Amino acid sequence: MSTTSELAPRRAAGSDSALASTGALAISARDGELGARSFFNRALWGKALFECRGLLLASLALMFSFHWIFVWITSMVQLGPLADFVKTLPNGIQNLSGVPVNELATVAGRIALAYVDPVVLFTAAVWGISRGSDAVAGEIDRGTMEMLLAQPIDRLALLLTKGAVAVLGAALIAVVSFAGTWCGLTAVTLEEPTSIWAFLPAAINLFAMTFFLVGVSFAVSSFDRYRWRVIGLLGGFYTLSLIVNVMARMVEKLGWLEYFTFFGAYEPQGMTAFMLNEPAKAWAMSLHFDGLLIGLGLVGFAVSAVVFARRDIPAPL
């Protein structure tokens, strides 16, 4: 039978355990409340939008006008001479388009080339790399990250706010590209009727690729403290991926290299070509490639969240 003196330490231990559990729950609840308040902090959203407003507006204006003008230029080129010219090109050059030559000779096939034009690829890369490199490394490099985290702001909420703005920009770039194509189709007279909906998978594919670039950029940025170095690494990765994709398409024996570049999942011309005759196949292709790009982008966001939540923030030099 236990004595009073033996029961006292047990009660004290039980009381300490209960207090510890209550304290842990209180801290967890406080952290969750802090994270929620931080994510819906208007100042954070305003800061994230203010920092990218110039680049975003310029990118949207460029993409809208470029796609509109591209349709107008397409309307001025006759199919016959173009088809004859394309057929005379070497097979390696023809394969760069990703679709059969007869599809390039159609109005829709030529308009879809706008989505693989260097202007579009460069704009998507600039947006994705610039916003991702600024998310963590940019703030540390400027010395503003230390001041931000000195406030009652949750790290993940800060990262989510920047990520949401970057993804919103990627979506708007795809939307205005689609809108520019639509305005071009309604403003000019083409040789054959072309539905705007044939280009919807291409626009979604553009968003998926930009989303991937944003996610990868966030991941690299979360490891570094210098924005210039992050931009250099990502620029090299983008250029190397583009070179590998060109090699895979121009040289038949190197076709397997396409599996090692994200450009292998960027096929707006192929999706547009299938939309004309086999819409179900086009949407299946879209689901596969876009799902792959978005999935890899989400992995990048997850990596950045884990690293940023645990890393030390160095003092500005």
Closest by Cα among 237, 203, 47 to 135:
47
Task: Find, among 176, 220, 211, the residue nearest to 290 by Cα.
Answer: 211
Q: What is the pLDDT of residue 253?
A: 86
Q: Is a pLDDT exceeding 60 seen at residue 210?
A: yes
Greater model confidence, 21 or 60: 60
The tokens for 148 are 């931000």
Give the tokens for residue 120: 């579009």
pLDDT, tens only, 146-191: 888 888 888 898 999 999 999 999 999 999 999 999 999 999 888 7
Q: Are 115 and 268 in contact (CB under 8 A)?
A: yes
The gap between the terminal CA atoms of the chain, to the nearest Å, is 67
Residue with the larger pLDDT of the pair 97 and 65: 65
List all residues 6 or more positions away from 184 whose beta carbon is below 8 Å from its beta carbon.
67, 68, 69, 70, 71, 72, 111
Question: Which of 122 and 81 is assigned the larger pLDDT?
Answer: 122
The tens digit of pLDDT for each residue in 11-26 reads 444 445 443 443 433 3
Q: Can you say whether the dihedral through the CA atoms of 69, 70, 73, 74 is positive or negative?
A: negative
Residue 200 has pLDDT above 50, yes or no: yes
Nearest to 272 by CA among 43, 74, 8: 74
Please give the C-alpha separations between residue 31 and each of 22, 86, 313, in angstroms, as whole numbers.
Answer: 14, 62, 19
Residues 304, 159: contact at Cβ < 8 Å?
yes
Is residue 203 scored above 90 in pLDDT? Answer: yes
Question: For the chain, how many helices (H) and strands (E)?
Answer: 14, 0
Q: pLDDT exceeding 90 applies to what percent of the chain?
A: 56
Which pLDDT value is given to residue 147? 86
Examine the pLDDT at 9 and tell me if it is beyond 80: no
Check residues 317 and 225 and name the one with the higher pLDDT. 225
Note the pLDDT tens digit of each residue in 244-299: 988 888 887 888 888 889 999 999 988 998 898 889 999 999 999 999 999 999 99
The band of 102, judged by pLDDT with boundaries at 50, 70 and 90, is low
pTM score, whole prediction: 0.84
pLDDT of residue 206: 98
* Residue 204 and residue 174 in contact, taking contact as beta carbons nearer than 8 Å: yes
- For the chain, helix, strand, coil in percent to 5 are 85, 0, 15
